Amino acid sequence: MPHGGDQQQLRTDFDSLWGASGAAVGAAWGDDPALAREFYLSHHQGLAAFYRTAARAGQAVIKAFWF
């Protein structure tokens, strides 16, 4: 994150992400790639809303992932 008073707005465009990897991700869904896209789009929108809400409240979000 930028230091001082500067704030940087980061935005991840779902269509760009899907364009880069949607075919590979959607392949696991078999014959319905549109369903896969809608599923991941829904998750993307939910996460984006969560992060916006946290940011507006001045809260930090720590993301952890385990295999």
Give the model's pLDDT for residue 33.
Answer: 84
* pTM score of the predicted model: 0.68
Alpha helices in 1-67 (DSSP H): 14-27, 33-56
Say if residues 50 and 56 touch (Cβ distance below 8 Å). Answer: no
In a 13 Å sphere around the CA of 1, the CA atoms on its Cβ side amount to 9
- Where is pLDDT greater, at 10 or 62? 62
pLDDT tens string 4-30: 444 455 567 899 989 998 888 888 888
Domain range list for the chain: 14-56
Listed in sequence order, the residues at least 6 apart from 67 whose beta carbon sits closer than 8 Å to its beta carbon are none
Over residues 27-59, the pLDDT tens digits come to: 888 878 889 999 999 999 999 899 999 999 999
**pLDDT attached to residue 25:** 86
